[in-house]
Amino acid sequence: RKRNPHEEEFHQSVEEVAESVFPWYLDHKQYRDAQILERVTEPDRVIIFRVTWEMDDGTIRANRAWRVQFNHSLGPYKGGLRFDPSVTLSVLKFLGFEQIFKNSLTGLPMGGGKGGANFNPKGKTDREVMRFCQSMMTELHRHIGEDVDVPAGDIGVGAREISYLFGQYMRLENRWSGVMTGKGASFGGSAIRTEATGYGCVYFCEHMLNEHGEDLEGKTVAISGSGNVALYAAQKAMQKGAKVITLSDSSGFVHAPEGLNPEQWEFARVLKEQRRGRLSEMAEQFRDISHHTGIRPWQVPCQVAMPCATQNEIDESDADQLIRQGVIAVCEGANMPATVPAVHLLRDKKILHAPGKASNAGGVAVSGLEQTQNAMRISWSREEVDERLQKIMRQIHQRCVAHGKVNGRIDYVVGANIGGFQKVAEAMLAYGVL
Ligand code: NDP
């Protein structure tokens, strides 16, 4: 904390990993002697730069951007870019740190990184977003490459932003390469990359429930968020026969007590993906949906909760509320959506709890498959990519089970942290003192 003052989110993510790997770490003298934990918590490098751009009315704006290249022991740095006014170095360090272990869990050759800017794309025109992206890439292109660092999307960075960023990279480097993932299908993107994080989260949830004699079919599921992850988690959960009763955005949540139907889901998709509107419109459009301003969706009775919006969106009182309302599983689509006290409460009450680094790894896994397809100059079909995604999520679940046995039960937080950490530690050990 002395070395990294004011980096609360980063401290929180390190604390969560350190707390769960520590007993195991102490049993492995070779890692202790090599100071692996101390080394892995320090990024390889952080690049900070100014992004100057022009609004449509000629006003000049300056934002701050970062790329945190955290650890490339297992492969090129890999992790998304986030555009949001709440982005700070601490947020990106926490996301980059998580990404190391998540990418390790996928079994694909990817290191951990993250980046972004304190730029708010909300309310900006397409041309303004384009100028921002082009200006950002004018600096970023020096630091990335298909064998060096491969960024992708995250909050505020979707297909539109990736396309502008990738276009500018090509213009500056004068070559086409798979330097970004999440690209459009017509220029090197992978089938189901858009859906992958949400779908993967549901596949993981299903394995976790099955492992404990339960099934997703017929369960009532509360989902937060209505972005990329939330929408496709909702779609897959509905396809699996679950009743999805909530979605949310930064203004509040919508409640559909009987479960969303496919028409309502499609309305939400067009509203958020294409029109960039507010969810409250759903309550105006459909009589069986209500909107609740300024609150999170964790107060409605549900059996499965899938937080898919942002970090720290389930605090201790939310967790307590969920438990009292009958939740049996919390499966994280977002990164670090639960605070440390909330994680402890879920563990103490023996609620099944899948941490994001395991359950939301489907997105980066398909990004890894996009890199493979780009390198081979081929495109796999939707069915083929989905099959590989399902296999990867099954293997991540198996890794969590193998490493997570604590006091006669499976602690998925411990399993994911040790399962992800071990491979990185082995590689760092093999490289010697670097
Ligand atoms: P999007 O930008 O597509 O959607 C984010 C959603 O969360 C929106 O509905 C947004 O509401 C809501 N939201 C954002 N901030 C807040 C807040 N402070 N309070 C309440 N709601 C909020 O992002 P993604 O779906 O891509 O990402 C969601 C989470 O999943 C993040 O934690 C991300 O790091 C993680 N993740 C994403 C992956 C991906 O492939 N996209 C991969 C792995 C993890 P509004 O519409 O009002 O802005």
Query: What residues does each domain of the chain span?
Result: 42-189, 194-359
Residue 386 Cα to ligand 1 midpoint, Å, equals 22
Taking the domain 42-189, which CATH number applies? 3.40.50.10860
Q: Whose CA is nearest to atom 22 of ligand 1?
A: 250
pLDDT at 362: 98
Place of tokens 């009987």: 258
Superfamily of structural domain 194-359? NAD(P)-binding Rossmann-like Domain (3.40.50.720)
Residue 227 Cα to ligand 1 midpoint, Å, equals 5
Query: Ligand 1 in contact with 197 (CB < 6 A)?
Result: yes
Is 6 strand, coil or helix? coil
Place of tokens 């201790």: 316
The answer to whether residues 246 and 224 touch, using CB atoms and an 8 Å cutoff, is yes
Query: Ligand 1 in contact with 360 (CB < 6 A)?
Result: yes
Cα–Cα distance for residue pair 389/354, rounded to 1 Å? 17
Query: Ligand 1 in contact with 333 (CB < 6 A)?
Result: yes
Q: Whose CA is nearest to atom 37 of ligand 1?
A: 154
Is 263 strand, coil or helix? helix
Query: Ligand 1 in contact with 226 (CB < 6 A)?
Result: yes
Residue 20 Cα to ligand 1 midpoint, Å, equals 26
Query: Ligand 1 in contact with 425 (CB < 6 A)?
Result: no
Q: Whose CA is nearest to atom 40 of ligand 1?
A: 363
Cα–Cα distance for residue pair 279/291, rounded to 1 Å? 8
Binding residues for substrate: 78, 99, 102, 153, 367
Cα–Cα distance for residue pair 132/64, rounded to 1 Å? 11
Query: Ligand 1 in contact with 155 (CB < 6 A)?
Result: yes
Tens digit of each residue's pLDDT, the chain (434 residues): 777 888 999 999 999 999 999 999 999 999 999 999 999 999 999 999 999 999 999 999 999 999 999 999 999 999 999 999 999 999 999 999 999 999 999 999 999 999 999 999 999 999 999 999 999 999 999 999 999 999 999 999 999 999 999 999 999 999 999 999 999 999 999 999 999 999 999 999 999 999 999 999 999 999 999 999 999 999 999 999 999 999 999 999 999 999 999 999 999 999 999 999 999 999 999 999 999 999 999 999 999 999 999 999 999 999 999 999 999 999 999 999 999 999 999 999 999 999 999 999 999 999 999 999 999 999 999 999 999 999 999 999 999 999 999 999 999 999 999 999 999 999 999 999 98
Q: What sections of 27-158 are H helices per DSSP? A: 29-33, 36-40, 89-106, 126-140
Which pair of tokens denotes residue 151?
């960024």
Cα–Cα distance for residue pair 264/274, rounded to 1 Å? 15
pLDDT at 1: 77
pLDDT at 96: 98
The answer to whether residues 157 and 346 touch, using CB atoms and an 8 Å cutoff, is no
Q: Whose CA is nearest to atom 8 of ligand 1?
A: 227
pLDDT at 115: 98
Q: Whose CA is nearest to atom 23 of ligand 1?
A: 155
Domains 42-189 and 194-359 share a fold: yes
The answer to whether residues 34 and 427 touch, using CB atoms and an 8 Å cutoff, is no
Instruction: Give the strand pairing for 405-406 and 409-410.
Output: antiparallel
Which pair of tokens denotes residue 227?
């972005």
Residue 252 Cα to ligand 1 midpoint, Å, equals 14
The verdict on whether 114 is a catalytic residue reads: yes
What pTM does this model have? 0.97
Residue 380 Cα to ligand 1 midpoint, Å, equals 27
Query: Ligand 1 in contact with 229 (CB < 6 A)?
Result: yes
Cα–Cα distance for residue pair 193/367, rounded to 1 Å? 7
